[in-house]
Amino acid sequence: MAVRRQDALGYQIGLLSRLFDRTLEVYLRPFGVLPGQFPTLIMLYEQDGLTQADLCNRINVEQPTMANTLHRMDKAGLIERKQDNLDKRKVLIHLSLKSKGFREEIITQARRVPTIMTESLSKEEQDMVFSLVGHMITKLQNI
């Protein structure tokens, strides 16, 4: 029996992820931020002055991916790298004044995407989706 890709859960989740990123990009574009950079901004909004390793661990990405993300963010003027005063071997990643300046607005804009995505679902359906996705994430993280 042939399996149609649109009937495969992995295909559906992958498509949802791509559509989410594409829509998020529309709302982040005015700030000069790419969807892949947004999690780094959020982590730095929560705690400015993290190391690259800290960011990798918190966002769950590999070091080369984070290095590339930070390089692009640095070139775009979104972050600044500063040597740690206590441990000169460490380089801390800080938000630039530019990124600090649009914090509330970019978060508001980014929140529009999940709202759009779930607006036709009841509160119970939204809770169920969140719970199921959480279970799947936990299962895959434990492999």
Is residue 132 in a domain? no
Query: Which structural domain range is residue 72 located in?
Result: 5-110
Is residue 125 in a domain? no
Is residue 77 in a domain? yes
Amino acid at 103: R
DSSP string, 76-142: TTSEEEEE-SS-TT-EEEEE-HHHHHTHHHHHHHHTHHHHHHHTTS-HHHHHHHHHHHHHHHHHHHT
Is residue 67 in a domain? yes
Query: What pLDDT shows up at residue 123?
Result: 97
* Closest to 48 in 3D by CA, of 87, 89, 80: 80
Is residue 28 in a domain? yes
Q: State the CATH number of the domain containing residue 78.
A: 1.10.10.10
Is residue 56 in a domain? yes
Q: What is the mean pLDDT of each run of 10 residues along the chain (143 residues)?
A: 76 95 98 98 98 97 97 98 92 98 98 96 97 95 89
Q: Return the ∠ at Cα 118 (arms to 101 and 135), rounded to 5°.
A: 95
Radius of gyration of the chain (CA): 18
Query: What pLDDT shows up at residue 3?
Result: 65
Give me the number of domains the chain comprises: 1
